[in-house]
Amino acid sequence: MVEALTWREGDPIQFAVKDESRKGLYLRLSKGGTKTWYFAFRRKGKLYRNWYGKFPEKTCGAVAKLWEQDSDKLKVGINPVKEKQLESAELLEEEARESLTLSVLFHEHYFPRYASKKKSARLDEHYFRHRIEPILGSKPADSITWQDVEQLASIRDKQYNTARLTVSTLRKMYNWAASPDSAEQPGGPILLDISNPCRKTRFRPITDREAPQNEPRPLKSDELRALWNHLDDARSTDRILKLQLLTGCRVSEPSGMHESEIDREASEWVLPGSRAKNGRTHIIPLTPAMLELIGAPTKSGFVFEASRGKGHTTESGVSQAMQRYLDLLEINLPRGTRTHALRDTFTTFAARLGIQRELRNRLTNHIDSSIDGRHYNAHDYLEEKRQALRKVGSEILRITG
């Protein structure tokens, strides 16, 4: 009988045929020939429909069994439609939970919505991509345990700072994901309603005996001479390393140097606060040796253009070059210190030449946290910095020959 039912001219586009032997069971016919089963019933005056599927995929016998099950549920007060909706919601919640892996949490939520706006963005991305994601990236974010975190921290004895910063990145992720800020909409559900799996991981204080193994040190005179004379001014990375030695700046600062930051007439480099670690504009007087390393203006505007593609030479590229040179020249520095040793060398030379601590801090763009430095002293120390940079530069050039 069901097979014989067809839509005819003059019929509504869709109409239902009632099963007289089973209360509430209907077969809906459409103009296109589709036949769909459903069970209709009322609860508290509201009409519900529980859709069973299409004929002939759902046979009469299969539909009869589904109708019997739903009728029995109604007799004991269970609404089969509400039950199905609840099961679907639980299934969706389970799928969402499993799909929120640690990689998804970082790349789709934590980094674009929060971390990318902070100054630590580059470090957060580095430690996640290189230390966390290869090990835990594919695991659901709410399934990470303190044992997993301990696995990340297992290198603490050899690379204390690396382990500490890796776990710190993960800890910040979970603190944010469990805060109201992680909700997609104000007042909405937070991403993770769990305790932070990093809470049990602690780092013992590093002793004075252990410190030299992990802390950078300045280059000795013979090491400085060997490195300087190995650097090639034809390469952007090498010129950046020399400029870092002469200025004491952080490697990221000359790497991204732009022509708009240089006042060639006044022989000054004005580093904007947006590119400085402490967010403050830093004026660096330029000596003749520095201007020679900077060279003529480029088409792109970046002083140290990338060797391939557009943009400027990256900080990681300079660091990798530095490590290659250290390995080649057999200069034994703690692994991972790389370019920071040049900043330490500059500061050490400045102290050796009698340049006072306050002026050394100005040269390296460290914030003076004293009341005098924060509130009262507005002097720019520009001329003092110029003389100090000439003094340190002359000493470096004397040692390197």
Which residue segment(s) compose the domain that 66 sits in? 14-98
Question: 66: helix, coil or strand?
Answer: helix
- Residue 1 in domain: no
Q: Where are the alpha helices (DSSP H) in 178-279?
A: 211-214, 221-230, 236-247, 252-255
- pLDDT score recorded for residue 154: 82
Residue 31 in this model has a pLDDT that exceeds 90 = no
Are 203 and 168 in contact by the 8 Å Cβ rule? The answer is: no
| Residue 7 within any structural domain of the chain | no
Residue 2 lies in a domain: no
Do 93 and 108 sit in the same domain of this protein?
no
Per the structure block, which two tokens stand in for 269? 């480099």
Distance from C-alpha of 302 to C-alpha of 264, rounded to nearest angstrom: 15
In a domain, 4, yes or no: no
Looking at residue 157, what is its pLDDT? 64
Residue 295 φ/ψ region, left for φ over 0, alpha for ψ in the -120 to 50 degree band, beta for the rest: left
Query: Do residues 254 and 361 share a domain?
Result: yes
pLDDT tier for residue 98 given thresholds of 50, 70 and 90: low
Q: 0.85 exceeded by the pTM?
A: no
As a whole number of Å, the CA-based R_g of the chain is 34
- Is the pLDDT assigned to residue 135 strictly greater than 50? yes
The domain boundary, picked from 194, 213, 232, lies at: 213
Instruction: Report CA 254 to chain centroid distance, whole Å.
Output: 23
Q: Both 204 and 351 in a single domain?
A: no
The phi, psi pair for 22, rounded to 5°, reads: -130, 110
CA-based torsion, 248, 249, 252, 258: positive or negative:
negative
CA pair distance 176, 190, nearest whole angstrom: 9
pLDDT score, position 209: 44
pLDDT on residue 90: 61
The predicted pLDDT at position 316 comes to 86
Classify residue 321 by burial, with Cβ atoms within 10 Å: 0-12, 13-18, 19+: buried
What was the pLDDT predicted at 91? 55
Mark which of 189, 213, 237 sits at the end of a domain: 213
pLDDT of 339-367, one tens digit each? 888 999 999 999 999 999 889 989 998 87
H/E element, 52 = strand 46-55
Residue 267: which pLDDT band, with cuts at 50, 70 and 90?
very high
Same domain, 72 and 108: no
CB atoms within 10 A of CB 127: 20
- Is residue 382 within 8 A of residue 389, CB to CB? The reply is no
The helix/strand/coil state of 28 is strand
71 and 145 co-located in one domain:
no
Same domain? 54 vs 117:
no
> DSSP letter at 17?
E
pLDDT recorded at residue 358: 87
Q: Rounded CA gap, 107 and 127, in Å?
A: 13
Domain boundary among 160, 187, 213: 213
Q: Are 312 and 256 in contact (CB under 8 A)?
A: yes
pLDDT tier for residue 202 given thresholds of 50, 70 and 90: confident
Which helix (H) or strand (E) segment is 97 a member of?
helix 80-99
Three-class DSSP category at 349 = helix
- 237 and 374: one domain? yes
Region for 53 from its dihedrals, namely left if φ exceeds 0, alpha if ψ lies in -120 to 50, beta otherwise? left
pLDDT band for position 310 (cuts 50, 70, 90): confident
pLDDT score at 106: 92
Whether residue 143 sits in one domain with residue 82: no
- Whether the pLDDT of residue 375 is over 60: the answer is no
Location of structure tokens 């990093």: 198
153 and 24 in one domain?
no
Question: Which domain CATH number covers 114?
Answer: 1.10.150
* 57-to-32, 64, 280 alpha-carbon distances in Å: 16, 14, 70
One domain, residues 81 and 112:
no
Smallest Cα–Cα separation from 285: which of 249, 234, 231? 249
Once rounded to an integer, what is the mean pLDDT over residues 45-54? 87
When divided into structural domains, the chain yields a total of 3
Written as one letter, the residue type at 225 is R
My answer on whether 56 and 131 are in the same domain is no
Least confident range from 44-58, 85-99, 176-190, 330-344: namely 85-99
Q: Is residue 8 part of a domain?
A: no
For residue 97, the model assigns a pLDDT of: 47
Full DSSP string of 106-134 = IIIIIHHHTGGGSTTHHHHHHHIIIIIHH
| CATH code assigned at 285 | 1.10.443.10
As a whole number, the mean pLDDT across the chain is 86
Tokens of 104: 């998804």
Instruction: Kindly state whether residue 114 falls inside one of the protein's structural domains.
Output: yes
Percentage of the chain lying above the pLDDT 70 cut:
90
Question: Both 365 and 242 in a single domain?
Answer: yes
Return the bridge partners of 49, or none. Answer: 40
